[in-house]
Amino acid sequence: MNRVLVTGAAGQIGTELTAALVRRHGRDAVLATDLKDPEDWSRGDGPAVQLDCLDAEALREAVRTFRATAVYHLAAILSATGEGNPLSAYKTNVGSLLNVLDAAAHERCRVFAPSSIAAFGPDAPRDPTPQSTTQRPTTMYGVTKVAGELLGDYYHQRYGVDARSLRFPGLVSHTAPPGGGVTDYAVDMFRVALAQGRYTCFLSPDTRMDMMYMPDAIRAVVELMDAPASALAYRNAYNVTAMQFTPTELAEVVGAHVPGFRIDYEPDPLRQAIADSWPNRLDDSEARAQWGWRHRYDLPAMAADMFRALRSQAPSAQDD
Ligand code: NAD
Ligand code: AKB
C-alpha cells in the first residue's frame, strides 16, 4: 500500500500534487507537510503538519511514524529568492534533500525531488538543451539543483534508494501563487491581466523560456514514479517540456482573452540575467522514448484553461 509524505506541500506544486496524490491513494495515505503552519495553507485534503525539513530527526520521525513508502520532496527556495540569500538557498535546498535521502535510506522509501531548467547554465546548448550536456549553472539555485541530481543518483547507487527526478521548466498554474522564481512572470501576467487589464513585465519582451502547465507537470511526476525502473536510463533527472514562449507571445494570447490588455516592460537586471543563462527549450526525447512522456497543453490550450479557472475563482483571489 502506498503511503506518501509531501514536503513543501503549501507551495505552487505541492498544493496541486498533494491533491492529486490524495485522489490516487486516499486522504489518509497522504501526509502534507510544510515549514508554514497548516492553518495558513491546508485545504483539508488529508492530514497536514508543520515540518522543517532541515530538522533531520523530525523529518525521519515523520517518515517513520507515518510509515511512508515515498517522499515527494518539494521544499525549496527558488531562483530569484535564492540569489537574495545564496547561503540560505544552499542550506535549504541541499540540506533538506540530504535529510530526505538519508531518511529514505533508513526507512526504505522512495523519493521524488524535482530538478529544473536551472540545472543548466550559459555553457549548455540552449535550443534545444540535450538530456546529457554541460551543467555549469551560474545561480546558487542551479548549483543546488545539480547537487540534488548527483545526490539522488548517489543514494540510489550507494544505498539502493529509488530516487527519481524531472528537470521542470517554468510551471504555470492557478491554485497557489509561485514562490520566488524567474518564470513567475507568466503566472503573474494571467492574474494581473484579469485584475487590472495591464501588466508590467520584469523580463525583456523577447526572453524565450521553456514552460509547462501544472496539470502536465503533475501527470509527469505520477508517470515517472509509476515507470518500471528497468525503463529508466536516467533517474536524476529527466528533461521534460511542453511549450516555449516570450513575454510578447504570451501577451498576445492573454490579449485575446482580455480585451484592451496592455503590457509594459521594466526588465529587472538580476532576473533577466538568470533567464538569459537558462535553456530556451529542453530536448525531452529521452523521457518520451523511455517512459512515454507526452505533454497535453500548448500555449493556447493552457491560456484557455487558466482564464476559465481564474474567472471561476472569487474576485479576491485575482486581486492579490
Ligand atoms: P514554492 O516556493 O511554491 O514552495 C516551496 C515550499 O517549500 C513553500 O511552501 C515553503 O514554505 C516550503 N519550505 C521552504 N523551506 C522549507 C523547509 N526548510 N522545510 C519545509 N518546507 C520548506 O516552490 P514550488 O514552485 O512548489 O517548487 C517545488 C519544487 O519544484 C522545488 O524543488 C523547485 O525547485 C522545483 N521546481 C519548481 C518549478 C516551478 O516553476 N514552480 C520549476 C522547476 C522546478
Ligand atoms: C524558477 O524560476 O526559479 C523556477 C524554475 C524554473 O526552477 N520556476
pLDDT tens for 55-110 read 999 999 999 999 999 999 999 999 999 999 999 999 999 999 999 999 999 999 99
Strand 238-239 relative to strand 115-116, pairing: unpaired
Would you say residue 225 has pLDDT above 50? yes
Is the CB of 277 inside a 6 Å radius of any atom of ligand 2? no
Q: Which band of pLDDT confidence, cut at 50, 70 and 90, is reported for residue 315?
A: low
Q: Rounded to the nearest whole angstrom, what is the distance from the C-alpha of residue 195 to the centroid of ligand 1?
A: 26
CA 24 and chain centroid, separation: 20
**In the predicted model, what is the mean pLDDT of residues 203-224?**
98
Is the CB of 183 inside a 6 Å radius of any atom of ligand 2? yes
pLDDT for the residue numbered 314: 57
| Residue 33: its H or E element | strand 30-34
Question: C-alpha distances in angstroms, 43 versus 32, 178, 246?
Answer: 10, 17, 33
Would you say residue 1 has pLDDT above 90? no
Indicate which residue's Cα is closest to atom 7 of ligand 2: 116
pLDDT for the residue numbered 320: 43
* Cα–Cα distance for residue pair 98/103, rounded to 1 Å: 8
Kindly report the CATH class assigned to 172-211+243-278+297-313.
alpha beta
Cell triple for residue 168? 521542470
Query: For 34-38, 45-49, 92-96, which range has the lowest pLDDT when averaged over its residues?
Result: 45-49
Residue ranges of the domains in the chain?
4-170+214-239, 172-211+243-278+297-313
pLDDT tens for 108-127 read 999 999 999 999 999 999 99
Is the CB of 51 inside a 6 Å radius of any atom of ligand 2? no
Strand 115-116 relative to strand 166-168, pairing: parallel
Ligand 1 atom nearest the C-alpha of 172 is: 40
* Cα–Cα distance for residue pair 57/295, rounded to 1 Å: 38
* Cα–Cα distance for residue pair 317/180, rounded to 1 Å: 18
Strand 238-239 relative to strand 166-168, pairing: parallel
- Of 45 and 298, the structure prediction assigns the larger pLDDT to 298
Name the DSSP letter for residue 178: P
* Cα–Cα distance for residue pair 121/112, rounded to 1 Å: 23
* Cα–Cα distance for residue pair 154/166, rounded to 1 Å: 16
Q: Rounded to the nearest whole angstrom, what is the distance from the C-alpha of residue 179 to the centroid of ligand 2?
A: 9
Q: How many CA atoms lie within 13 A of 277 on its CB side?
A: 24
Name the DSSP letter for residue 8: S
Would you say residue 16 has pLDDT above 90? yes
Among the bound ligands, the one closest to the CA of 221: 1
Cell triple for residue 136? 555549469
Q: Rounded to the nearest whole angstrom, what is the distance from the C-alpha of residue 184 to the centroid of ligand 2?
A: 8
* Cα–Cα distance for residue pair 215/243, rounded to 1 Å: 13
Q: Spell out the residues 6+ positions from residue 236 whose beta carbon is closer than 8 angstroms to its own.
A: 115, 148, 149, 150, 151, 152, 153, 156, 163, 164, 165
Indicate which residue's Cα is closest to atom 4 of ligand 1: 11
Give the residue numbers annotated as catalytic, written as ranges.
141
232 within 8 A of 168, measured Cβ to Cβ: no
Q: Between 3.40.50.720, 3.40.50.2300, 3.40.109.10, 3.40.50.620, what CATH number should domain 4-170+214-239 receive? A: 3.40.50.720
Q: Rounded to the nearest whole angstrom, what is the distance from the C-alpha of residue 178 to the centroid of ligand 1?
A: 9
Ligand 2 atom nearest the C-alpha of 278 is: 6
Q: What is the mean pLDDT of the chain?
A: 96
* Cα–Cα distance for residue pair 30/4, rounded to 1 Å: 5
73 within 8 A of 7, measured Cβ to Cβ: yes
* Cα–Cα distance for residue pair 293/173, rounded to 1 Å: 20
Would you say residue 189 has pLDDT above 50? yes
User: Which parts of 161-213 fold into alpha helices (H)?
Assistant: 184-196
Tell me the pTM.
0.97
Phi-psi region of 84 (alpha: psi -120 to 50; beta: other; left: phi over 0): alpha
